[in-house]
Structure 1
Amino acid sequence: MTRDLKERLVSLASVFLKLGLIGFGGPAAHIAIMEAEVVRDRKWLERSQFLDLLGATNLIPGPNSTEIAIHIGYMHGGVWGLIVAGVCFILPAVTMTAILAMAYTQFGSLPQIAPLLFGIKPAVIVVIFGALYRLGKKAIKQRNSWAIFLLVILFRLLGLNEVVSMLLGGLLGMVGLVFTQSNPNPIPLLLFLVSNNINQVANENQVNPSLWQLGLFFLKIGSILFGSGYVLIAFLEGQLVNQYGWLTQQQLLDAIAIGQFTPGPVLSTATFIGYVILGVPGAVVATLGIFLPSFFFVLAVNPIIPKLRRSQWTAAFLDAVNVSAVAVMTVVTMNLLYQILWIPTGSFPINWEAMLIIILAGIALFKYELNTALVVLGCSIFGWSLSYI
């Protein structure tokens, strides 16, 4: 290893550890911070190169901001740089999430902690709605996109699996979007279709998974997850909660909520879930499973970015998959909202405390554009104070 490479790796480590520690606000905020750091300040990349990387992340599965970090590491320090940048960006969030998971399993059911989590859950719903709005605004650009969106919602309401719904939406959308343009240039889509038949990684109704089943589940998710890390919620709710029963609806909401306290990738939620299900070994295999595919995808795709970006068929397929992901997230979010607000007994069936927190969180996030972590923390304190009224 040359001295120049060592210096580059040290620079990458310092930059992405810092970004991993201060990267609150979700993928859009991460990308903005990275652009300021590596393009404007350090001039490691031209702005046009950074935009190429941003486009490439939409062509492969995995969390967008994490993959941009890995791309930058690869371009600045080769394979070693890829590893250093990715690990340093992920490590702070994973470490904080693991600590919170340990505290949660020990204290999460106590009355002193329950009011804090009660305040967080409605705030998280608002955060997810905000992500849905931003993603939907970017993904749903034309009439065909709205048709895909509604069709995928119908697929989910009819009970079709999340992965199958998204792939069907992608295929139908690809045909529709490409043939509304002229001179289509088809290329193979096997890279994106091989995941169609790997949905079943554990026995249905399996309550106590083995370590390899848990790891394989998250490896599958990391290999097929298109778009924002928030899409992860759809897979977790549909399979871990409803299909396998490894996680309760309550634990899912708590996992999403606690994930909002940590900076860095949203997918660090997998660390929390792995710990809740199988302790430290579960946290390790869940983390490795969900993040490892991104390193290999970037390593494979980075050299061929120009060809992928020029393909009408690939671009149309992934545009449609992104629309499908927003549709799947919409169904899941409405289900979570119902779980939080609906009280089946009593004269007034709406949880007014949760409704009040949702309204306040919405004002803070959308009108005043406050930091997501601050809003979630404020709502947790407000929820705690409501317990004394």
Structure 2
Amino acid sequence: MQPGFAETVRTFAKIGLLSFGGPAGQIATMHRILVDEKKWLDEERFLHALNFCMLLPGPEAQQLATYAGWLLHRVKGGLAAGILFVAPGFVVMMALAAFYVGFRDLTVVQGLFAGLKPAVLAVVVEACLRIGKRGLKRPGHRAVALLSFVAIFLFGLPFPLIVAAAGLYGFASTTAEGQQALVDRPGVGRSLPTILLWSALWLAPVGLALAWGQGAFGAVGLFFAKMAVVTFGGAYSVLAYVAQQAVEVHGWLTPPEMLDGLGLAETTPGPLILVNQFVGFLAGFRDPGPLNPWAGGVLAASLTVWVTFVPSFLWIFAGAPHVERMRGNARLAAALSAITAAVFGVILNLSLWFALHVAFTKVGAWGVGPINLPLPDPATAQPVAIALGAAAMVGLLRFKWGMVPVLAGSAVIGALLY
């Protein structure tokens, strides 16, 4: 069923407001709403889009939202979906960064979001069960999923390497016999205007900031524009480098402040990479040039978000027409199906990581040789969070409660307890 544009906008606004729990939670939320509830996309189309987005640099969940919007209403749908996915988190993070600079006490807000996290974990587990049941029907795919999980969970292998290996396996395991011919294949020339337009939109503010040459704005724009094209495998793959550069090289904030920003980003709606916005706010606040510090913070944070997320529109609008035509190619379809299985293993790893950090406040590591395992400290177990997560899971899986009531109820309990 093709929805109207107004209904699409309302739905993606809802998705943006509910996009908690990092990429695993956000993908789970989109799958539940777009595939199960609205039935706007079937399972194959959703996973096909997800496979492509997992290969791109940048926030894969926002790119998936953009791709889904593009499938429904082309460019205007992609713009609406991508912007609405980020907008709630952008507004919340801007307010929290300003509040942090002014007061440093976010207890009530942290309590609200602490209550949300266990419920988000239940949503993630439910999505893993649904996607696994539908997307891992062949023994080969189940083996790929298991090997991918082991590779990233036990050995910490790079995410792009795992995905590439899965794609090669799928491609090599399928013959070209009987595959559908690709017709009207778009050439690079058709995508060139899109590439030029979005590249200009992406980098123009950075050029203006560098030309102005005052305050931290040029350095902030240039640094985060570089980060936007190297964040393969999600935010966690690059956050350590961002923290090191922002703290030690640029001096925009201190190590405890970086940890506070990461904690805020983990518990607010939107991609985890919004921690960059927190860093940008503090950088602009402390080095605003001729501007008022508060104006400098808002401007630098806005510039950071712009250069971080605009490339996602470039990748999707330039690449989606090509990727959609690949659906008729048997070998490419097999490669993407294998990538689906690998992505399931990666999401399972993210879900387990998320579960450990919900249930325990301190998670260390234990390693021997190439094996490296997360090791929670039993003394830091959070019985309330564990109980909330279990209750939310029973509500969703056993009693089929709606996602919004479960999230809202858990958030209220968390706020009252804090």
SS of the residue corresponding to residue 159 of structure 1 reads coil
- Corresponding residue for residue 278 of structure 2: 276
- Corresponding residue for residue 334 of structure 2: 316
**Equivalents in 2 of 1:210, 1:313: separation in Å?**
43
Q: Structure 1 residues 384, 270: closer, same or farther in 2, change over 3 A?
A: closer
Structure 2: give runs of 5+ residues left out of the alignment.
19-28, 54-59, 188-218, 247-256, 281-300, 363-375
Matched, 1:153 2:184: no
- Cα contact 1:125–1:333 (8 A) shared by 2: yes
SS of the residue corresponding to residue 60 of structure 1 reads helix
1:265-310 deviation digits (Å, cap 9, x = unpaired): xxx42673332232221111222123331111224445xx2xx233
Matched, 1:217 2:239: no
**Equivalents in 1 of 2:7, 2:389: separation in Å?**
35
- Cα contact 1:139–1:322 (8 A) shared by 2: yes
**Equivalents in 2 of 1:310, 1:93: separation in Å?**
30
1:54 positional shift: 5.4
- Cα contact 1:12–1:85 (8 A) shared by 2: no
**Equivalents in 1 of 2:11, 2:361: separation in Å?**
41
What pairs up with 1:8-87 in 2 under 5 angstroms? 14-23=6-15, 25-31=29-35, 57=49, 60-61=52-53, 63-73=63-73, 82-87=74-79
What pairs up with 1:209-248 in 2 under 5 angstroms? 210-219=220-229, 235-241=234-240
**Equivalents in 2 of 1:320, 1:360: separation in Å?**
34
Q: Structure 1 residues 292, 373: closer, same or farther in 2, change over 3 A?
A: farther
**Equivalents in 1 of 2:346, 2:242: separation in Å?**
16
**Equivalents in 1 of 2:377, 2:164: separation in Å?**
42
Q: CA RMSD in A?
A: 3.7
- Cα contact 1:122–1:357 (8 A) shared by 2: yes
- Corresponding residue for residue 294 of structure 2: none
Task: Give the counterpart letter for 1:84 in structure 2.
Answer: K
Task: Give the counterpart letter for 1:121 in structure 2.
Answer: K
Q: Structure 1 residues 112, 26: closer, same or farther in 2, change over 3 A?
A: same
1:359 positional shift: 0.9
Q: Structure 1 residues 258, 158: closer, same or farther in 2, change over 3 A?
A: same
Matched, 1:128 2:124: yes
- Cα contact 1:271–1:283 (8 A) shared by 2: no
**Equivalents in 2 of 1:380, 1:213: separation in Å?**
35
1:330 positional shift: 1.6
1:147 positional shift: 1.6
- Corresponding residue for residue 57 of structure 2: none
SS of the residue corresponding to residue 235 of structure 1 reads coil
**Equivalents in 1 of 2:84, 2:93: separation in Å?**
14
Task: Give the counterpart letter for 1:282 in structure 2.
Answer: T
1:374 positional shift: 3.2
Q: 1:88 aligns with which of 76, 80, 91?
A: 80
1:25-73 deviation digits (Å, cap 9, x = unpaired): 423413567656xxxxxxxxxx9xx899657636633644532321332
- Cα contact 1:271–1:284 (8 A) shared by 2: no
Q: 1:112 aligns with which of 108, 113, 117?
A: 108
Percentage of pairs with the same residue: 16
- Corresponding residue for residue 196 of structure 1: none
Q: Structure 1 residues 34, 211: closer, same or farther in 2, change over 3 A?
A: farther
- Corresponding residue for residue 78 of structure 1: none
Matched, 1:337 2:359: no
**Equivalents in 2 of 1:310, 1:83: separation in Å?**
23
1:331-371 deviation digits (Å, cap 9, x = unpaired): 22212222232356998552211111111221232223333
- Cα contact 2:221–2:304 (8 A) shared by 1: yes
- Cα contact 2:360–2:380 (8 A) shared by 1: yes
Q: 1:163 aligns with which of 120, 138, 160?
A: 160
1:191-242 deviation digits (Å, cap 9, x = unpaired): 9xxxxxxxxxxxxxxxxx8433433433455xx7xxxxxxxxx622333258
**Equivalents in 1 of 2:347, 2:386: separation in Å?**
21
**Equivalents in 2 of 1:134, 1:33: separation in Å?**
13
**Equivalents in 2 of 1:243, 1:151: separation in Å?**
30
- Cα contact 2:90–2:274 (8 A) shared by 1: yes
Task: Give the counterpart letter for 1:326 in structure 2.
Answer: F
**Equivalents in 2 of 1:121, 1:327: separation in Å?**
21
1:385 positional shift: 2.1
SS of the residue corresponding to residue 268 of structure 2 reads helix
SS of the residue corresponding to residue 112 of structure 1 reads helix
- Cα contact 1:166–1:325 (8 A) shared by 2: yes
Task: Give the counterpart letter for 1:87 in structure 2.
Answer: L
1:97-136 deviation digits (Å, cap 9, x = unpaired): 2111112223465222222122122222222222222222
Task: Give the counterpart letter for 1:171 in structure 2.
Answer: L
**Equivalents in 2 of 1:33, 1:94: separation in Å?**
22
**Equivalents in 2 of 1:103, 1:371: separation in Å?**
29
Task: Give the counterpart letter for 1:214 in structure 2.
Answer: F
Task: Give the counterpart letter for 1:236 in structure 2.
Answer: A
SS of the residue corresponding to residue 353 of structure 2 reads helix
**Equivalents in 2 of 1:60, 1:343: separation in Å?**
34
**Equivalents in 2 of 1:126, 1:68: separation in Å?**
24
Task: Give the counterpart letter for 1:168 in structure 2.
Answer: A
Q: 1:141 aligns with which of 130, 137, 141?
A: 137
SS of the residue corresponding to residue 271 of structure 2 reads helix
**Equivalents in 2 of 1:343, 1:277: separation in Å?**
23
SS of the residue corresponding to residue 158 of structure 1 reads coil
- Cα contact 1:105–1:276 (8 A) shared by 2: yes
